[in-house]
A and B are shown apart, each in its own frame.
Chain A
Amino acid sequence: MTATSSKVTRVIGYSALAFTALALLFGLVISGPEVNMRDSVRLLYVHVPSILTAYLCFGITLVGSVIYLRNRSTFWDLVAGSAAEVGTLYLAFALITGAVWGKPTWGTYWEWDPRLTSTAVMFIMYLGYLALRRMELPHEVRSRRAAVLGVVNIINVIVVHYSVQWWRGLHQGRTFGLDPQIRDMQYFSWFLGTVALGLIAAWLIIHRFRVGWLERQLDEIHLEEALVERRGEGV
């Protein structure tokens, strides 16, 4: 047992491990290649879940930020920050897997296509959000500014999502959805990857929240010690 684990995180963690094993088994072994993409279709079982989970994380950041701006709750500030950090990590995964999928499929790792460009901008914006959360500022000031940015950044998430419909580019439209371009075992492999990476994200957010809580407590302890020391000097 670790310092930030609990019964809930252990249940989520073991479920994530089980689904990851299934996702790897179906994604790499059981499901076959696709007609056009061949074996590179397997990258979509991690690429699409990564971007979807990143969207979800940024949605949590939005909710946490709005609630923080209303009631100044430390809990929601930490929820927003934790979800943003995990979301940014998943966004990096989406960019990496998209690039390695693009090379054998499009013949290039990167293209200044609307979807790719807006995703890169979104990544930089959330890196900025994370940098802001690490600035040496009073907690209230830092949290308030981060919450405002957490709300503003969601605009780019919407732009990224609809970019394939608004502008013509190299990136394909929706591969998965109500009328998916791939079916059966490939669709099931994508579903398993989505559940696995979603459960992993939940586990990471909870642990990141608890680490953030401990960091905040330690900051307060150091502040209290400094105040006691200062008062001692004044006597």
Chain B
Amino acid sequence: MYWNFVAVGYVAVYGGVVAYALWLLARGRRLSSQVPEERRRFLD
């Protein structure tokens, strides 16, 4: 019984992190292709 709840919790956390990370990488890649190289300096 406990393991079902444990599974839901771990899938929510690590699954959520992976989904968000993939969205960030995809969005970064898409935006990066639209912004010229000289404006991609992140810490200016």
Contacts and interface: CB of A to CB of B under 8 A. Distances in A.
Contact of A96 (B3, B12, B36): B12
B16 to A, nearest CB: 6
A39 B24 contact: no
A204 B32 contact: no
Chain A interface category by residue count:
35 or more
B28 A221 contact: no
A89 interface: yes
A219 B38 CA distance: 15
A144 interface: no
Contacts of A2: 25, 28-29
Interface string B24-44: 110111011111100110110
A130 B19 CA distance: 19
Interface residues of B, number: 30
A32 interface: no
B20 A89 contact: yes
A27 B7 CA distance: 12
A99 to B, nearest CB: 9
B5 to A, nearest CB: 5
A221 B35 contact: yes
B13 A50 contact: yes
B32 A93 contact: no
Contacts of A189: none
Nearest to A214: B31
Contacts of A133: none
A103 B31 CA distance: 42
Interface in A71-115: 75, 89, 92-93, 96-97, 100-101, 103-104
A200 B14 CA distance: 10
A207 interface: yes
Interface stretch (A40-48, A56-64, A157-165): A40-48
Contact of B28 (A3, A42, A200): A3
A43 B6 contact: yes
Interface of B: 1-3, 5-6, 8-10, 12-14, 16-17, 20-21, 24-25, 27-29, 31-36, 39-40, 42-43
13 contacts: A2-B29, A4-B32, A27-B10, A93-B12, A97-B13, A104-B2, A200-B21, A203-B21, A207-B21, A213-B42, A214-B31, A214-B32, A217-B39
Given A42-B6, A209-B42, 13 more contacts: A4-B29, A39-B3, A40-B6, A93-B16, A100-B12, A104-B1, A197-B13, A214-B31, A214-B32, A217-B35, A218-B34, A218-B35, A221-B34
